[in-house]
Amino acid sequence: MSRQMTVALFATCYNDMMWPETPKAVVRLLRRLGCEVEFPVEQTCCGQMFTNTGYADEALPAVRNFTATFSGYDAVVAPSGSCVGSIRHQHRDIAARAGDRQLEDDVVALSPRVYELSEFLVDVLGVTDVGAHFPHRVTYHPTCHSLRMLRVGDRPLQLLKAVRGIDLVELAGAEQCCGFGGTFAMKNADTSVAMGSDKARAVRETGAEILVAGDNSCLAHIGGLLSRQRSGMRVMHLAEILATTDDGAA
């Protein structure tokens, strides 16, 4: 484990614009664990929304921007399994389609150094107890791209189990998709909501106060349903729980 390592934070465009507390939590957490955190301001987006909707040409500027912005770093950390999944599994295809060999080579060189938060904490820093304190009843939803594209496995649960005071309860059918699916949530809104409603019911039946996950996009979908249902439940990104300490800084 190399303390004092420099980490580039890829906030992701969605967190940057809509959920700034999540990347702020990542900054606090990584500094607490001894990392130097940089935020290269040239960063924009991973391009996943374009790629997954079929707009490969429109994804290209984002892929170029990401590769140019982060190629100089040894480690890039993002609080989103989905965005990291896109970087590791789709950027190369976008570069290849553009016929840009240099970009393709750069993507291949960079993408193994891009980590989802729980991967970085457990695999690179080698920690599961990050010194967090969070005395609440919590249930965890493993998001699909973390689970099936990145294979993060139980890393987020290892991290959550080590949080002091937490009451972690199991979510039935946890590995079933919540129905967000990017533009699927709007292009197939009825199906997306049907899937999300089943997920929201399972979440409510846990009796937890808070639903936690590693992707704010999925959480906005499930949270949007829970809010419309006046469920009284909150959703929170994994980073925000892990960043919370006895001082109450969350």
Nearer to another protein, 71 or 161 (CB): 71
Contact yes or no for 76/116 (Cβ under 8 A): no
Residue with tokens 């924009």: 44
Least distance in angstroms from the C-beta of 17 to another protein: 5
Largest CA distance in the chain: 53
Tell me which DSSP letter residue 210 carries: E
Residue with tokens 């990050």: 130
Nearer to another protein, 138 or 226 (CB): 226
Least distance in angstroms from the C-beta of 167 to another protein: 25
Least distance in angstroms from the C-beta of 187 to another protein: 5
Least distance in angstroms from the C-beta of 145 to another protein: 7
In the numeric block, which tokens belong to residue 112? 């193994």
Chain centroid offset of residue 22 CA: 9
Nearer to another protein, 168 or 217 (CB): 217
Taking 3-state DSSP, the helix, strand and coil percentages for the chain, each rounded to the nearest 5, stand at: 50, 10, 35
In the numeric block, which tokens belong to residue 65? 């921007």
Nearer to another protein, 42 or 102 (CB): 42
Distance CA 116, CA 33 (A): 16
Least distance in angstroms from the C-beta of 87 to another protein: 14
Nearer to another protein, 23 or 156 (CB): 23
